Amino acid sequence: MSLLHAIKFNDAGLVPAIAQDAESGRVLMMAWMNEEAFRQTIATGFAHYYSRSRQQQWKKGESSGHVQQVTEIYLDCDGDTVLMKIKQTGPACHTNRESCFYKQQQDDAWVTIEEPMT
């Protein structure tokens, strides 16, 4: 079975892709992939995604230099989510934080638990 054949892309032709730090295990971000982004990721060894707002492919770090080198790729049991273990260069989040998941629920509020990297 081919790699692409096993992935269940949604009606828009996309699949959620989770980037997880290969060393720490911390979830860094979630973005969308289409078939082409997945193919480019496999071919280059660097994470490529699909921007829904710009309607185009993008390589993570293409303009910032904060690339994601993919070390392992997993597919969940339903085939509808991709998990990539990556080596992150610089911050993963466009807010200049290590992770996009920097807000934690505390009581009835979201509290920022991580400041931007300098």
Quick: pLDDT tens for 26-65: 999 999 999 999 999 999 999 999 999 999 999 999 999 9
15-21/82-88 β-pairing: parallel
Residue 7 lies inside a defined structural domain of this protein: yes
Structural domain span for residue 23? 3-112
Classify burial at 38, counting beta carbons within 10 Å of its beta carbon; exposed 0-12, middle 13-18, buried 19 or more: buried
Report residue 37 CA to chain centroid gap. Answer: 11
For the segment 98-113, what is each residue's pLDDT rounded down to a tens digit? 999 999 999 999 999 9
Residue 102 lies inside a defined structural domain of this protein: yes
* Cβ contact 68:46 at 8 Å: yes
For the segment 55-96, what is each residue's pLDDT rounded down to a tens digit? 999 999 999 999 999 999 999 999 999 999 999 999 999 999
| 50 closest CA partner among 27, 40, 42 | 40
Classify burial at 2, counting beta carbons within 10 Å of its beta carbon; exposed 0-12, middle 13-18, buried 19 or more: exposed
Residue 45 lies inside a defined structural domain of this protein: yes
Residue 30 lies inside a defined structural domain of this protein: yes
Residue 68 lies inside a defined structural domain of this protein: yes
* Cβ contact 86:14 at 8 Å: no
In the DSSP assignment, the letter for residue 35 is H
Report residue 3 CA to chain centroid gap. Answer: 18
Residue 117 lies inside a defined structural domain of this protein: no
Averaged pLDDT for residues 8-28: 98
CATH number, position 22: 3.10.20.810
Residue 9 lies inside a defined structural domain of this protein: yes
Residue 118 lies inside a defined structural domain of this protein: no
pTM of the full structure: 0.93
Q: How many domains does the chain have?
A: 1
